């Protein structure tokens, strides 16, 4: 039975990138001291969630990979002997940018990267303005702590992405996330949205017999344009087991950093009890690649 100690950091970001990164570094050091082997950060963790508006000046925040952030987190990973899942605004070329997760190995090297595939475009989430859809496919990243199925935020709603990662031997699914309420939503609507978000990911855990780790931002971030009242990120970062069981769920309002132990061997047992992969009718699924079936 293989156990992995995962550290999650749910943070309220400010406009001060240096301060955001320092606080992440301090929490990473503490989690490592407490035994974390893998630490997962939230989506676009260095800055405010800038996609609330369409502003060409925001492209100045993007950086190459390798670059300053991979160097910063690489040194952190090597110093503390931990694997770190980061989430960066990648400048691939002039006019070509991605929302990219980079996995840093415990020796400080880059183990691999994943470019966000599903790009939303909704009020206050204008990501299509900034990010080109990923072109690296749904491929797990091998690390010293296991094979990690890294996906990002909007990807978490799509069962196809989770399945493809699982079919390639991912030991767990990891979702760096930035999602929250619009403040004008009613309390009931806010609850429905948050529970739908949690439920669909727990469903991926069950359908694939695999652990799911979702790490979200928390706190209010204003809309620079003033068109909305900003986003109240709902936190609620969680870890679910391969039967959808909730192993941990963070606060919906407060920062948290926490270690959760995953029993990866239990996932294999669950797949023996519920052999969904065995019973899939792959001979009948051809139409799944169509946009719509008339």
Question: What pLDDT score was predicted for residue 1?
Answer: 53
* Catalytic residue check, 43: yes
Q: Which of 5, 106, 116, 258 is catalytic?
A: 116
DSSP-based three-state secondary structure for 122: strand
Question: What pLDDT score was predicted for residue 42?
Answer: 98
Q: How far apart are CA 119 and CA 251, in angstroms?
A: 27
Question: What pLDDT score was predicted for residue 185?
Answer: 86
* Catalytic residue check, 229: no
Q: How far apart are CA 117 and CA 100, in angstroms?
A: 9
Q: Which of 43, 90, 105, 221 is catalytic?
A: 43
* Catalytic residue check, 51: no
Q: Which helix (H) or strand (E) holds 82?
A: none
pLDDT digits (tens, 9 = 90+) for 56-83: 999 999 999 999 999 999 999 999 999 9
Q: How far apart are CA 232 and CA 223, in angstroms?
A: 11
Residue 212 in contact with residue 201, Cβ under 8 Å? Answer: yes
| Domains parsed from the chain with CATH numbers | 3-278 (3.60.110.10)
Question: What pLDDT score was predicted for residue 182?
Answer: 86
DSSP-based three-state secondary structure for 207: helix
Walk along the chain (294 residues) in steps of 10 and give the mean pLDDT of each run: 92 97 98 98 98 97 98 98 98 97 98 98 95 98 97 98 97 98 89 97 98 98 91 97 98 97 93 96 95 93
DSSP-based three-state secondary structure for 47: coil
Q: Which of 51, 106, 127, 153 is catalytic?
A: 153
């Amino acid at each position: 039975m293989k156990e992995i100690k995962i550290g999650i950091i749910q943070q309220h970001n400010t406009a001060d990138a240096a301060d955001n990164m320092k606080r992440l570094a301090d929490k990473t050091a503490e989690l490592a001291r407490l035994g974390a082997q893998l630490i997962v950060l939230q989506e676009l963790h260095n800055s405010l969630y800038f996609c609330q508006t369409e502003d060409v000046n925001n492209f100045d925040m993007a950086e190459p990979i390798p670059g300053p952030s991979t160097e910063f987190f690489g040194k952190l990973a090597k110093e503390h002997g931990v694997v770190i899942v980061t989430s960066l605004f990648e400048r691939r070329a002039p006019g070509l940018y991605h929302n990219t997760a980079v996995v840093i190995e415990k020796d400080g090297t880059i183990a691999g990267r994943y470019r966000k595939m599903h790009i939303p475009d909704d009020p206050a989430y204008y990501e299509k303005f900034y990010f080109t859809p990923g072109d690296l496919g749904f491929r797990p990243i091998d690390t010293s702590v296991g094979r990690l199925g890294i996906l990002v935020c909007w990807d978490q709603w799509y069962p196809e992405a989770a399945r493809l990662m699982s079919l390639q031997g991912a030991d767990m699914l990891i979702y760096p996330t930035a999602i929250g309420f619009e403040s004008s939503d009613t309390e009931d609507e806010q609850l429905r949205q948050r529970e739908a978000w949690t439920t669909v990911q727990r469903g991926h855990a069950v359908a694939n017999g695999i652990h799911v780790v979702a790490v979200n931002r928390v706190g209010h971030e204003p809309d620079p344009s003033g068109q909305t009242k900003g986003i109240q990120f709902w936190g609620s970062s969680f870890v679910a087991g391969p039967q959808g069981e909730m192993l941990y769920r963070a606060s919906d309002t407060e920062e948290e950093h926490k270690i959760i132990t995953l029993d990866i061997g239990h996932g294999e047992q669950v797949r023996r009890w519920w052999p969904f992969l065995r019973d899939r009718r792959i001979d009948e699924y051809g139409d799944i690649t169509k946009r719509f079936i008339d």
